[in-house]
Structure 1
């Protein structure tokens, strides 16, 4: 069995590395890209990576990246060459927005062109891309596209395009079950059989073919940002609740 050896001439432009769903090659030709920290696994050519807080392209960041909570997790890549991106062995796909509106789990968003605007979604742990351009997203297994109305396991949800944000739907039997309520309060997690994300209206929902969520440290940041509005009594109550859960 032969091993394929790649070089700049054999690597594709803006496509998955041939025979490899877990690596993606971006053609860098002067157009900057926002890339998630740690996504770069290799590159050919002259490419620079600048943290958003210390970049020479402050105008692009100010105009396109409107999510300070996530700014430390991203860099601006610019230059000439072939940039190979990966994400811990997860599948990587490219998507094209055409004057679109797509909300995606922050942990799954890998890179996007600077022609797109990024906003922080009101849904914890998600980001919204607006405009026209290409972006890359990782997933635990291939992605399926589905039309609403539908309900899906929240852990299988990658994102949604051009449709309203989902609401939570709780199974009636689970809601009435004391044991289910205790289990939810102790572990803070429900399966898709107990709680679903309920989508209505027109649009497209992106669903990964696994219930295993990509590790997401962004949700903690969102929760921490929300505690700023809490008073001392609320903070004490939250501290007691977290302490009780840690003991369990």
Structure 2
């Protein structure tokens, strides 16, 4: 086979069945969902599918008026679509790296912008970061996921997980914070002396402080969020 031929390109990039179950990484930045039932995915994340799959945007009252109210306050940043049927669904988000987590009765908080897909067996709720909402572009909110099932999250480039212990808290840039888990309750702290060193967005001097037992996932990139209500 000649170098750079069309056949070589097709063979090196063609879809492969890895037999890994419901969620599998087709590439590091493309999630393949072997659908036989229903999953939730970030609205607009579908890039391709085959089979008999029906798509519905999340209904206004689908998850109760409480979640609808919180979504309105958060600028609809976690808009979801429901995919139902049988087939292969491919989802991605602006070329971000995809990580798969298999929750087994555990819970995790994920930045609303970094949640790609999750099984319908997972319970979820939006948690608004009220104290910081007026301090950053578009505010900040997270989604709490709990139960048993698959969750896919995204990050710009390679994520790093930092372990937190009671005697060793971790401080992060909110725009670079992807997820956290454990007994952690983030606080927002400001330090004017760090203003010129941390961050380049509207929240340069704001940090998230994580204390307790657990872990925090960060990415080597600052995402700036724009509220659809602004």
- TM-score norm. by structure 1 comes to 0.70
Residues 78, 113 of structure 2: 8 Å contact kept: no
After superposition, give the CA deviation of every residue in 1:56-112 in whole Å (9 maximum; x if it has no partner).
xx8xx448x962214982111011111111111111111121211211111111111
15, 19, 31: which one pairs with 2:24? 15
Residues 109, 180 of structure 2: 8 Å contact kept: yes
Q: 2:212 aligned with 1:212, yes or no?
A: no
Residues 161, 204 of structure 1: 8 Å contact kept: yes
> 3-state SS of the aligned residue for 1:107?
helix
* Alignment-derived partner of residue 202 in structure 2: 188
* Alignment-derived partner of residue 94 in structure 1: 100
After superposition, give the CA deviation of every residue in 1:8-57 in whole Å (9 maximum; x if it has no partner).
7578642111xx21111011012x10111110000111111012228xxx
Residues 53, 71 of structure 1: 8 Å contact kept: no
* Alignment-derived partner of residue 67 in structure 2: 67
- TM-score norm. by structure 2 comes to 0.75
Q: 2:173 aligned with 1:153, yes or no?
A: yes
Structure 2: gaps (5+ residues): 130-139
> 3-state SS of the aligned residue for 2:86?
strand
Rg (Cα) greater in structure: 1
1 or 2, which has the higher helix percentage? 1
> 3-state SS of the aligned residue for 2:212?
coil
Structure 2 CA distance for aligned equivalents of residues 66 and 206 of structure 1? 28
1 or 2, which has the higher strand percentage? 2
After superposition, give the CA deviation of every residue in 1:173-221 in whole Å (9 maximum; x if it has no partner).
358xxxx7xxx9xx7331xxx432111001111111x1321x534xx36
Pick which of 195-204 and 4-13 moved more: 4-13
* Alignment-derived partner of residue 14 in structure 2: 6
Structure 2 CA distance for aligned equivalents of residues 23 and 7 of structure 1? 11
1:7 positional shift: 4.9
Q: 2:157 aligned with 1:163, yes or no?
A: no
